[in-house]
Structure formats: structure tokens, C-alpha cells
């Protein structure tokens, strides 16, 4: 049974056109993360929520925003995608500090 | 940055052999975790070792942690072709999980 679900699996967007990626979880975990992973690189943390508390990484561009309307859902908004934003975007959840993270299958974003 | 650095970047072995991957990091941690990623997929958690632990086992996996050297190792024994994947270490501090660059493991039949 899927526990962290990302939609869509593949997203193609036009340069500069806002795009939203979604993530849902059935685990009732407190923490939700968004990572960006480019080809052959490490996943890079963009931001995370601990419950409703939003934590932005210092080097996350302003072009990236996130919303968490409730425990189950979290969204990644890219306001004006550039070619350099093409990547795999990974959502993950964890119950609390000091526990394992559960990842979705990712959304591969292509910018044309 | 507390990002981990894995070593080697790539490892190619034969089925049945053991695979050892190393991870070094820079700052304090609550725990260190190892993940596996098949090509184009999400990450799967393998094992978590807390900062006060030195060694942990799970099936064919053995993880060590040396906080004085800020390093960890992952040993996969009796490797199988299905173990072919990228392996990442991740350091956890205050709910911030930071990944290293990964080791790409290829296990040939």
C-alpha cells in the first residue's frame, strides 16, 4: 500500500509557467520534506514542515514555495520554472525527530 | 554544511562478494541513516544508527558509526544482483535530514 504518494510522476511545464507538485501521506506523520534531486546528485533539502511550522533552507531560491494545508497534504509550488529547475522532486515524511523517513516515488519535472 | 560524503563514488563487484561504503560528515548528529535508491525511483530507508550506538545489523547489512571520526560505514554481505542501486548516507539533526552524494553499486551476476 502506497504510504507517500506523489502526483504526477512526470510533469512537463513551460519555461516561466507556474507549476504545482503534490504529495500526500497516509502515515499521519508530523514532518514532511521536499527534496530536489538532479541527475547523479544527492537529494537536496528545499524545506520541511514540522506540523504547521515551516522551515526553509537558507539556499532554497524564492522561486520555490510550499503549502501544507493539513497533515496529509503538502504542495511544492515553483512560481517561474527555469531550465535549471528540471529535476526529480522527492517528498518524504517522518514521524518525528530521530526517526526514519519514508519517500514517495518522486515527480520528474521537465521544463521546456 | 553537515552533508555526508560517501566513498567510493562507484563500486563494481561480483555476486557473492561483500560491498563496503563509507560516509563522512562534518557536524553533530542525532542519528545517521542509510538509504537505497534504484534508478529513477524514490529512496528506501535501510537502517538508522543513533549517535550513541556504534554498530547495528539488519539482515545482510552492517552499519558502524564512529562519532569521534564523524564517519560511518555500510557493509552489504553476500551481495546479489538485486542490490544494484545507489546508496546514500543521511545525517539527521533536529528533523533536518541531509544526504551525502551517494555510492553507485553495481553487482554483476
**Each residue of A32-51: pLDDT tens digit?**
999 999 988 999 999 999 99
* pLDDT classification of A98: cutoffs 50, 70, 90: confident
**Each residue of B39-79: pLDDT tens digit?**
888 899 999 999 999 999 999 999 999 999 999 999 999 99
Which residues on chain A are in Cβ contact (under 8 Å) with B92? 97-98
In Å, how far is B81's CA from the nearest CA of chain A?
Answer: 20
| Beta strand pairing call for A87-94 and B55-58 | unpaired
Where does residue B57 rank: exposed (0-12), middle (13-18), buried (19+ CB within 10 A)? Answer: exposed
Cα distance from N-terminal residue to C-terminal residue, chain B: 38
Q: What angle do CA A95, B85, B41 make, to 5 degrees?
A: 55
Which residues on chain B are in Cβ contact (under 8 Å) with A6? 42
| Beta strand pairing call for A107-111 and B5-7 | unpaired
What is the chain B residue with the closest CA to A106? B42
pLDDT above 50 (res B2) = no
In Å, how far is B107's CA from the nearest CA of chain A?
Answer: 18
Question: For A6-50, what is the HEC assignment?
Answer: EECCEEEECCCCCEEEEEEECCCCCEEEEEEECCCCCCEEEEEEE
Amino acid at each position: 500500500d502506497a504510504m507517500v504518494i506523489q502526483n504526477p510522476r512526470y510533469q512537463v511545464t513551460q519555461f516561466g509557467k507556474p507549476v504545482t507538485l503534490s504529495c500526500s501521506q497516509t502515515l499521519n506523520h508530523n514532518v514532511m520534506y521536499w527534496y530536489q534531486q538532479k541527475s547523479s546528485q544527492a537529494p537536496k533539502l528545499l524545506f520541511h514542515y514540522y506540523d504547521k511550522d515551516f522551515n526553509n533552507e537558507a539556499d532554497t531560491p524564492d522561486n520555490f514555495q510550499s503549502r501544507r494545508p493539513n497533515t496529509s497534504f503538502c504542495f511544492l509550488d515553483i512560481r517561474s520554472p527555469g531550465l535549471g529547475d528540471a529535476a526529480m522532486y522527492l517528498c518524504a515524511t517522518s514521524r518525528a525527530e530521530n526517526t526514519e523517513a519514508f519517500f514517495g516515488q518522486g515527480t520528474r519535472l521537465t521544463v521546456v | 554544511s553537515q552533508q555526508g560524503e560517501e566513498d567510493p563514488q562507484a563500486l563494481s563487484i561480483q555476486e557473492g562478494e561483500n560491498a563496503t561504503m563509507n560516509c563522512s560528515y562534518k557536524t553533530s548528529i542525532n542519528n545517521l541513516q542509510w538509504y537505497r535508491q534504484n534508478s529513477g525511483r524514490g529512496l528506501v530507508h535501510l537502517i538508522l544508527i543513533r549517535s550513541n550506538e556504534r554498530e547495528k545489523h539488519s539482515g545482510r547489512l552492517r552499519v558502524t558509526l564512529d562519532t569521534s571520526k564523524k564517519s560511518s560505514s555500510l557493509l552489504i554481505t553476500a551481495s546479489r544482483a538485486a542490490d544494484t542501486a545507489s546508496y546514500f548516507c543521511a545525517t539527521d539533526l533536529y528533523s533536518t535530514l541531509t544526504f551525502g552524494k551517494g555510492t553507485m553499486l553495481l553487482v554483476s551476476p
